[in-house]
Structure 1
Amino acid sequence: MTSGKAALLIAALGLSACQSVSQFADPLAPDIVREAGLGEQILNSGDPNGAVRYFERAAAATPDDVAMQRSLAIANMRAGDLRAAERAMDAVLASDAATPQDRVERGFIAVRLDDWERAGAMTAALPPDLDTARRALLEALVADRARDWSAADAAYARALAGAENKAAALNNWGVSRLARGDASAAIATFERALATDPKLFAAKNNLAIARAMRGDYALPDGVESDRERAVLQHNMALVAQRKGDAAEARRLLERAIAAHPQHYRAAVEQLAALEN
């Protein structure tokens, strides 16, 4: 499959298709949280909205405390309020206490907002001696957007070398390879991610999609629940439908519904649309 056709198919699949850094707050831990310990327990509490409320109160009580604005930006990013994260991080960057890591996090916010000009500006402003996996991952995404595949591969390799969460870095590298039409390399990369972390659902999902794009609709190894099975079969059905294989799409949707009929309504709606 050519890179153009692969990119079109990925785009056509919508939000349930390939999962990469753009869908998540921090596939690699933000350096500014890990290194400075800024409210790390609160940020990692599992209650993103609760963390937002905490840091909103703290920032309001101490408006000159850049650390609170920084933590508020990360909390909002994890809670999915990207505009609020943007405002908080811009306030950090306007201060004298801004760090290169702040520019990296502002770049990730821009990526998730699809503001690639700003993301590129943030990477261009980084000092050459900032050598972190997070910086490398941001540069890889910007290179992907520019379709500069050699630069992307070099950046992903740096991100992987320095990442604590190597499975997440490999998953994103696999998405890059799939988008450029190299399904074989993408499949191998997703398999490496799952060998590193067998529970990483994003890599399972992406592996299933990459294989389906080549006509292989078998579920990946390590499916842990009926819900996972249903989601994967639904997404493979979308690939089959986009490829014009209605019979395979119908079979996969029926299996998805059978796997998890109470909680997987998307497959029911997709099958009804296919039947009509």
Structure 2
Amino acid sequence: MSTADSSNVALFGSLAADWWNPHGSSRLLHRINPVRLSYVREAAIRHFGGGARARRPLAGLAALDVGCGAGLLSEPLARMGADVVGIDAAPENIDAARAHAQDQGLSIDYRAMDIADLADSVPASMDLITALEVVEHVTDLDHFLGSLGRLLKPGGLLVFSTPNRTAASFAVLIAGAEYITRLIPRGGHSWRQFQTPPELTAKLATAGLVVRETRGLSWTPARGFVLSDDVSVNYIGVATPSA
């Protein structure tokens, strides 16, 4: 069973060769990736107790990057020591990810598959799961979140980020980023699929996951993307198994 939006899979798969171009169709992801990666690193260190100054603070952790694309997050996770599995519904993205990882000398287990199938085959297998800018591309959200819950080990950590469903997010991400500035591919998002923090918190709870923190992701002219208390456009957070 597929939880992914087939039209989004086709769109982003068609852009696979351009993922690693910081000035190409994925340039917004390149701009937001540093603050997301820093948040993942710090959240994992707080949760698992790794050294804040360690070069490989995720050593020994089994990590899953859901909706990995061509590996913009998977590769840094591997460099921090995690044993990384990256999954994406678009085979073209997985091909690009494998090629780039090989060029970088990184060992990452990339798979073209749906998260529900992975949860069926290896439940309770992941210490750390990242699902960054993925929720908004999912058609069967309850099944998707349930799969996240099934894949996490007891004591595991989920890091998620996604757009909020507000007038501000429509203005910035749909009207602005897709149709005016063309920072992201046109048609890549449906505003109606965006989740508000309370909605996502409730659905994660149904999947057996408790949200422990939510922060805003905001853009500033001076510093670019930063963590903030403003969740009106985009937010990032962590959740853990309820039991």
Q: TM-score, normalised by structure 1?
A: 0.30
> Which fold has the larger relative contact order, with Cα–Cα distance below 8 Å and residues 6 or more apart in sequence?
2
Q: TM-score, normalised by structure 2?
A: 0.33
The structure that is helix-richer by fraction is: 1
The structure that is strand-richer by fraction is: 2
